[in-house]
Amino acid sequence: MKFFPMFLRMADRRVVIAGGGEQAAQKARLVLKTDAALSILATELDNELQAIVNEGRAEHHTGPIGVAQFADAALVFIATGCPGMDAALHAIAKAAGATVNVVDQPDLCDATTPSIVDRDPVVVAIGTEGTAPVLARRLKTDLEVMLDPRLGSFAALAGRLRDAVAKRVPQPKRRNFWRWTFKEDPWQAHKRGAERQAADLLKQAIASGGAPGTSDLGQISLVGAGPGARDLLTLRAVERLQEADIIFYDRLVDPEVLELARRDAERVYVGKVLGTTQWPQHRINEVVLRAARQGQRVVRLKSGDPSIFGRAVEELETARAAGIPVEIVPGVTAASAAAAALSRPLTARGETDRVTLTTGTLRPGDDQPDWAQMALPGSLLVLYMAVHKAAEVQENLLSGGLPGDTEVSVVASASHPHEKILECALDEMAECIAAKGIENPAVLMIRCPKDMATGCAAGTP
């Protein structure tokens, strides 16, 4: 970022606008939304600015402009409409040590004015560093529609009650209290116009020491991070990330996904690196459970979907045995992402009427499955994390009777910028995977012909 976004305190501070025409009036409209004292430097003012001065909302300086006029200003806008005059005034303002915005001259700007969505005291500022003001205005329009007009008054009500919450609601329960406030009954009541009911609900909850239905225990959410691209997360997944006090994530979770989390949420890497026992499953269960017992809202962030080869059973059973509320938030699984990358559906009427999801990564000591038994005519066999066993899969399927020209698609890192796609015949699958250097995470997608002899799936060529 070339510009750091932040909000400046404007009460009891001075803002200077140099200029008396429409450009200056535009900046004045923004400044008048704040508590700043406004000074306008110009020999003449248009009707709007003159009215502002006449109403006592700004002071007007008509004399020569020097360093003194910009001294101690929190912010200076230069908007005379004359490039030469703007440049000269910019030099004087900088000599006074001011932070300066020169209209339509980005190279002379220390600060830029964002597009603003105003739900005072809730304010959303949208900036493009001066590169795309039209885009900023479009985003402003989208947010104006998204944010309820009553949001500001409700935020103000909540703000008036903050001291009472600090006194009556214990620290571990406060985050959940505010989540309930802005998401559930109080906000819903206020939004439909029942302001008094909303206030009563908040005051009753404060008096009782927390939001209704809360306990000292936390909550565990097993959240699917999808295949990688953060815009493939569900809305519920994003919501849980933004509510979480602590996030335990594995090695396949893209760092971009973690950017959606609350800034002050603790992040703990519990990835299992192949060939090591740094984070065995029982240890992950223990640390997740410990955090929940401390009253924290815990997210166990898993790539793909937690219910599909995500070891969710162990973590669900551990939480339930301890009496901790637990939920699964599904994610886009790798098979769906791979199909999207190929622009081919997982099923096709008359060709592929069933999909089988299986894995090539087993527990140590487990027998290798007979993948050929799963390769039924007219089916799509999808093997997760199996490229390191491509030769064994290929041999098993061919010996089970699948034709050598059976279509195979291999998709690695689906939805990532470094996604790789390979399409080949079954009898050359292992060789092609090795030649292209494809590694996990990847899926093998074997399309079993509809007219394949049924005996092939039974291992009788």
The residues annotated as belonging to the active site are 250, 272
Determine the Cα–Cα distance for residues 63 and 87; give it in Å rounded to an integer.
19
Determine the Cα–Cα distance for residues 404 and 401; give it in Å rounded to an integer.
9
Beta-strand relationship, 37-41 and 59-61: parallel
How many residues does the structure list for the chain?
461
Residue 62 · residue 40 · CB < 8 Å: no
Classify the C-alpha dihedral 83-89-90-91 as positive or negative: positive
